[in-house]
Structure 1
Amino acid sequence: MATLSLCMIVRNEEKWLSQCLDAAKQFVDEIVIVDTGSSDRSVEIAQSYGAKVIELPWEHDFASAKNVALDNASQDWILVLDADERILPDDFKRLKELLDTNNADAYKLELRNYVKQAGPGYVSCIPSETTMQARSYRPIRMVRLFRNRQEYRFENRVHELVERTIESAGGRIGEASIPVHHYGILFSNVKHKTRYYAWLTFKQIEDDPTNVRALYLAGQFMQEQGKTASALEYFHKAASIDPAYKNVWFTIANVLVGQKRTEEAIKAYEQSLVHNPASPNAPQVINNLAVLYANAGRKQDAKKLLELAMKQFPNDVAIRKNAERLVAA
C-alpha cells in the first residue's frame, strides 16, 4: 500500500493547526511542517502530533518554503495543505484509494474557499459545521496530491503552483472529486493579505520579468485598484509571452470594452478565439464579438460568426437570441 506524507508551511497558526492535523493524522504516514517564524504555539502543536518540524526564516517566498517541506518528505505520495484547511474523513478515504492506482502522477483537488459574501463564480451552500456556517464558496481546482519525486516542485513566490514542473517532467495530472475545505478567508484581514500578495507578485516580476503568471496577477491587481492603463500594460506583456495563458486576450478585450475602445476590443476578442478556441469562455467571446461587429456596422461578420457558433454551442441562450435578432434586423 502506497504511503502518504502531509506537507505544510505554517506561521502563527495555533488557531487552525490542531483542526487540520486532527482530521489528517489517521490517514497520513508522516507529517512534515516547515515553520517560518511562529511566535505562538504552532511548533509545540505540530510536535504533539509527531510532526517533523523544520524551522526556516521567512524569505517572502511561499514556493521556496513549501519545497523545503517536500525535500524532507520520505513517503510515496505528498499531500499539501494549509493550516486553515481540512479534508473530511470519507473524502480522505477516497483520497487514499487513489494512491494505489496508476491512473495519474498527481491529482487536482477542489479547494473550496468559504466566504462571507458571494460573488460571480461562487457556489451557494447550506450553512453547517463543515462550512463554518458560510453560505457560499469559491471553487478552485489545483494540484495538491502528487507522487514524491524530486522534479516535482512549486514555483512562484506567491500563488505558488506545482503543475508546471509535473507536466515538464512528463507527469500525468488527473482530476479527483475530493474537496479541501478552506476557512481562513472567513476570518482573515483580506485587504492586508491582498496588499502583501501584490507586493510579492511585483517582487516576482523583479526576479523574472518574463514570468507570465506574475504579470497576469499584477494586471488583475491593478484592475482591482482601478488602474486600468497599468492593468492593460501587464496583461499585454503576459500575452506577448504566452498568448494562450489563462485566456488573457479575453481579459484584455473585456477591459477595452469597458473603456469603449471598440476596434481594439474586437481585435482582442479575435485573438482570444485564435489562442483559446476551446476555452469555457468561448461562447461569451463569440457572443461579445458578434455584438461588437453588429454595433460597428459589420452585420454580415456578426451573422456569419453566430451561425458557426449556433452549430458549436446549440444550447447557448445568448448566442441563439442574438442570432435571432440579427436575422430579424
Structure 2
Amino acid sequence: MITISLCMIVKNEADVLERCLASAKDIVDEINIVDTGSTDQTVEIAKGFTDRVFFYKWTGDFSAARNESMKYATKDYILYLDADDVILPEDQKKFLKLKETLNPNVDAVSMYYHAGTDGFGNVTLKYRLNRLLKRTKGFKWQGDCHNYLNVSGHIINSDIAITHKKQQHSVGRNLNIYQKRKERGDTFTARDYFYYGNELRENGHYQEAIDSYNKNLELKTGWIEDKVYACINKADCYRFLNQAEQELAALFQSLNYAKVPRPEICSRLGFHFQSQHAYQQAVFWYELATQLETDPNKWSFTYPAYSTWYPHLQLCVCYYKLGNFEKAFEHNERARVYRPEDERILYNKQLLENKRS
C-alpha cells in the first residue's frame, strides 16, 4: 500500500483548519503545514495534528509557497489541500480504497474539485485537478496567482471529490496581484488573460474583462477550454452591460471552440431568447441543455445547475408563458428534485396546481 504526505500552506485559517485536517488525518501518513505568517490560532491548531509545522515568509507568490510545502514530504505520494477544503465521508472511503489499490507506477491521480455548493447541497462548480502526486517525480507549481501543477506521465482519473467549503471570499486579492503584474510590465500568457478576465468580471469591471477575454482569444496559444469559457464569460459581461446582440454573438462564438453544444452555453442561449420573449426558441435551447451528457473525464469547468434544476425551472416559466400548464408543471417538478425547498419552485407548484384543477 502506498503512503501519502499531506502538504499545505496556511495563513490565518483558524476557523477552518481543524475541519480540514480532521477529514484527512485517517487517510494520510504524514502532515506537513507551512505557515506564511498567521496571527491567529492557526499554528496551534496545526500542532494539534502534527509536529511537522514549518514557517515561510510570504512573498505574494502562491506557487513558491506551495513548492516550499512539498519540499518537506517524505512519503510515496503528495496530497495537497487548502485549509477550507474537506474530504467528505463518502470520499474518505473511496480515498482509502484508492490508497490500498493504487499501482505505484501511477505518477498522478486526478480528482474532482467541488468548488462550490448551493443551499440545497447541489454542487455548483466542479472540475478535475491532479491531486495526488508521486513525490519522486518532483512536480512543481507554476504561476503566482491562479497557479497550476506541471504534471506529466502516467495519470489516472478517479471519482473521488475534494469539497471546497469557503467561508468568505477574498474580494479583489487576486485582481490586485494581476494589476501589479501589469504595472511591472510582465508578459501575460493566454492563461493569464483568461484568469485576469475572470477576476475583472467577478469584481464588476465588465468592459475590461471583455478586453482581457478577447486578448486570450487573439492568441493562438492556450488551452482550448479556456477559450470556450472566455466566450461564455464574455457573453455574461455583455448581458450585465445590457448589450444583447454582443451577448448572442459571444455565445455562438463559444460554439466555434467547443464544437458541440454544452449545457452552460445552451442554458445561456435559452435565457437570451427568453429575455426577448421568444419562448419557443428558448424552449429549444433549455430542452437541449437537459439532454446533454457530461463527460466524467472532462477537465474543464462544469456547472451542473445548467443541465439540472436551472433549465427545468426556466422551461416551467416558458411553457407557462406559452399556455402549456402541464409541461410547465412537469418541468417545475423536475426542478424541485434538486431544490425541494426553493421558494420560487414551491410558488410555481401551487400556482400550476390551481391552473390544472
1:283 aligns with 2:269: no
Deviation of 1:108 after TM superposition, in Å, equals 1.8
- SS in structure 2 at match of 1:108: strand
8 Å contact from structure 2 (residues 146, 195) kept in 1? no
**Structure 2 SS opposite 1:124:** coil
What is the distance in 2 between the residues matched to 1:151 and 1:204? 27
Quote how far apart the aligned CAs of 1:263 are.
Answer: 5.3
Mapped pair 1:69 → 2:69: yes
Secondary structure class of the residue paired with 2:172: helix
SS in structure 1 at match of 2:78: strand
Distance (Å, rounded) in 1 between the aligned partners of 2:156 and 2:263: 19
Q: Does 1:202 align with 2:176?
A: no
1:106 partner letter = V
Match of residue 43 from structure 1: 43
Shift of 1:261: 4.5
After superposition, the C-alpha distances for 1:71-95 in whole angstroms (9 at most, x for unaligned) are 2212222221222333245532321
Cα deviation per residue 1:209-262 (whole Å; 9 max; x = unaligned)? 333343223323333444332121111112222464152112223433554555
Q: For each residue in 1:159-198, what CA deviation from the matched residue of structure 2 results, as whole angstroms up to 9, or x when unmatched? A: 4333xx22xx24425142434352x41xx4x3xx112222
**Alpha-carbon distance change, 279 to 61 in structure 1, aligned in 2, over 3 angstroms:** farther
Superposed displacement of residue 199, structure 1: 0.9
Question: Is 1:111 aligned with 2:100?
Answer: no
Matched, 1:124 2:106: no
Q: Which residue in the other structure is 2:254 paired with?
A: 272
Aligned: 1:156 with 2:159: no
Cα deviation 1:108-157 (Å, max 9, x = unaligned): 2343546xxxxxxx3613xxxxxxxxxx7644334262222445333332
Specify the alignment match of 1:101 in structure 2: 102
Residue 3 (structure 1) aligns with: 3
Question: SS at 2:148's partner residue?
Answer: coil
Instruction: Report the Cα distance in structure 2 between the residues aligned to 1:260 and 1:46, rounded to whole angstroms.
Output: 49
**Aligned pairs (5 A) from 1:1-329:** 1-99=1-99, 100-102=101-103, 105-111=108-114, 113=116, 122=118, 124-125=120-121, 138-143=124-129, 145-149=131-135, 150-162=137-149, 165-166=150-151, 169-180=152-163, 182=165, 184-185=166-167, 188=168, 190=169, 193-204=170-181, 208-241=186-219, 242=222, 244-245=225-226, 246-259=228-241, 261=243, 264-276=246-258, 277-284=260-267, 287=270
The whole-number CA distance in structure 2 between the counterparts of 1:177 and 1:123 is 22
Aligned counterparts of 2:129 and 2:78: Cα–Cα separation in 1: 11
**Aligned residue number for residue 352 of structure 2:** none
Larger CA deviation: 27-36 vs 47-56: 47-56
SS of 1:57's equivalent? coil
TM-score (norm 1): 0.70
CA RMSD across the alignment:
4.1
Q: Is the Cα–Cα contact under 8 Å of residues 220 and 231 in structure 1 kept in the other structure?
A: yes
1:204–1:214 CA contact under 8 A, matched in 2: no
Report what 2:351 is aligned to: none
Bigger Cα displacement from structure 2, 150-159 vs 284-293: 284-293
Provide the secondary structure at the position in 1 that maps to 2:65: helix
Aligned residue pairs: how many? 290
Q: What is the TM-score of this pair, normalised by structure 2?
A: 0.65
Q: Could you tell me how far apart the structure 2 residues matched to 1:45 and 1:260 are?
A: 48
SS in 2 for 1:69: helix
Task: Map Cα deviations across residues 266-304 of structure 1 (whole Å, 9 max, x no partner).
Answer: 543332111013544243466578899999xxxxxx9xx
Aligned residue type for 1:23: S
| Letter paired with 2:38 | S
Deviations, residues 8-62 of structure 1 (Å, cap 9, x unaligned): 1112333433333333323211111111112344334434433422211001122
Gap runs ≥5 in structure 2: 293-306, 323-357
**One-letter amino acid of the structure 2 residue matched with residue 200 of structure 1:** I
Percent identity over the alignment is 25
Contact 1:30 1:75 in 2 (8 A): yes
